[in-house]
Amino acid sequence: LQRVAAQARQLGAASATPVAADLSSPEGARIALQAALGAKGFNGGIDVLVLNHIIGFWGWTLPDNITSAKAHELGEVSKRVGSFEAMERIIDVNTVSYMKLAVLAAPALVRSGTEKPGLGGRLVVVSSLAGKLGLPKVAPYSASKHALHGFFDSLRIEFVAKQLPVTVTLCTLGLIDTENARNQTAGDLKNSPKASPADETAMAILRAGATGCVDISGSF
Which residues are known to be catalytic?
141
CA proximity to 23, closest of 87, 121, 90: 90
Q: Are 17 and 41 in contact (CB under 8 A)?
A: yes
For Cα atoms 186, 190, 192, give the angle at the middle one, nearest 5 degrees. 120
Cα distance between residue 66 and residue 74, in whole Å: 10
Residue count of the chain? 220
Helix (H) or strand (E) holding 35: helix 28-37
Which amino acid type is present at position 171? Answer: C
Sign of CA dihedral 27, 205, 162, 92: negative
